[in-house]
Amino acid sequence: MFSFLRPRGSAVPASTKIELDGEPVSVSVRVSKRSRSFRLSLPAAGPLLTLPEGARWSEAEAFLQRHRHWLAARLPRTAQAQRLEAGTMVPLRGVPHRVAALGSLRGRVERGEVSGSPVLLVPGDTAHQPRRLYDWLKAEALVDLERQSHWHAGRLGVEVKQIRLRSQSSRWGSCSSSGTINYNWRLILAPPHVLDYVAAHEVAHLVEMNHSPAFWATVERTLPDMERGRAWLKAHGRGLMAWQAPGKEGA
Q: What is the pLDDT of residues 91-120, one digit of tens each?
A: 999 999 999 987 777 788 999 888 889 999
Region 202-217: mean pLDDT is: 96
pLDDT > 90 fraction of the chain, expressed in percent and rounded: 59
User: How confident is residue 181, by pLDDT bands cut at 50, 70 and 90?
Assistant: very high
Calculate the CA 238 to chain-centre distance: 8
CA angle 234, 236, 242 (to 5 degrees): 120
> pLDDT by residue (tens digit) across 150-177?
999 999 999 999 999 998 877 899 999 9
pLDDT of residue 124: 82
pLDDT of residue 4: 41
User: How confident is residue 65, by pLDDT bands cut at 50, 70 and 90?
Assistant: confident
